[in-house]
């Protein structure tokens, strides 16, 4: 899987983790929100899933990247499409939890104000057809202890990833 943003292309997951660590290291005495979210769009017989990883230094900047997967399949069922988006978000959140979060304990010990929360942003909300899926999709993350956000707070899925899911070409 490859990641990209407006400046960097063809990043590996290890590159993403290194970029996040570097971003935190530049100003470690702050609070951070590390969020993952997926959105998808179906065009013709293809479905494009875009997963965003976004780290926000509260009050002072952010860094993010996208990974796209194109499937030669048209998702017709809303439940199936949202389930796939949530599954991808879960996979990336689990990878970040494994590869990154444990290495941040050094910052906790050394910096009084350091805090980094991992969030899953799910593209469901209390309005519209997806409201019936909230409990089921949020349940994916309860066992992991990851904060889960839904619309309108789920900006990584509903805004950041959404911008990139519209184009079925892999960047």
Q: Give me the average pLDDT of each 10-residue run along the chain (171 residues).
A: 95 97 96 98 94 96 97 93 97 94 88 96 95 94 91 96 81 52
Domain assignment present for 24: yes
Query: Are 146 and 118 spatial neighbours (Cβ–Cβ below 8 Å)?
Result: yes
What is residue 171's predicted lDDT score, i.e. its pLDDT? 52
**Global pTM?**
0.94
CA angle 110/95/65 to nearest 5° reads: 85
Domain assignment present for 57: yes
What is residue 142's predicted lDDT score, i.e. its pLDDT? 86
What is residue 86's predicted lDDT score, i.e. its pLDDT? 97
Query: Are 160 and 132 spatial neighbours (Cβ–Cβ below 8 Å)?
Result: no
Nearest to 35 by CA among 8, 15, 64, 7: 64
Domain assignment present for 105: yes
Domain assignment present for 171: no
Domain assignment present for 170: no
What is residue 167's predicted lDDT score, i.e. its pLDDT? 78
What is residue 170's predicted lDDT score, i.e. its pLDDT? 54
Q: How many domains does the chain have?
A: 1
What is residue 169's predicted lDDT score, i.e. its pLDDT? 64
> Which domain range does residue 99 map to?
13-165
């Amino acid at each position: 899987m490859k990641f990209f943003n407006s400046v960097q292309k063809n990043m590996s997951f290890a590159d993403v983790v290194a970029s996040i660590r570097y971003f935190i290291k530049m100003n470690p005495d702050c609070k951070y929100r590390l969020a993952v979210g997926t959105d998808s769009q179906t065009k013709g017989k293809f479905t494009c899933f875009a997963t965003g990883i976004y780290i926000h230094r509260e009050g002072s900047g952010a860094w993010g990247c996208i990974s796209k997967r194109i499937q030669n399949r048209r998702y017709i069922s809303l439940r199936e499409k949202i389930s796939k988006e949530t599954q991808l978000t879960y996979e990336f959140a689990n990878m970040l939890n494994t590869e990154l979060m444990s290495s941040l304990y050094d910052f906790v010990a050394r910096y009084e104000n350091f805090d980094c929360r991992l969030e899953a942003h799910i593209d469901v909300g209390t309005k519209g057809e997806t409201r019936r899926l909230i409990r089921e999709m949020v349940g994916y993350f309860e066992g992991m202890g990851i904060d889960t956000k839904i619309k309108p707070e789920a900006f990584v899925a509903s805004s950041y990833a959404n911008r990139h899911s519209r184009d079925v070409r892999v960047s």
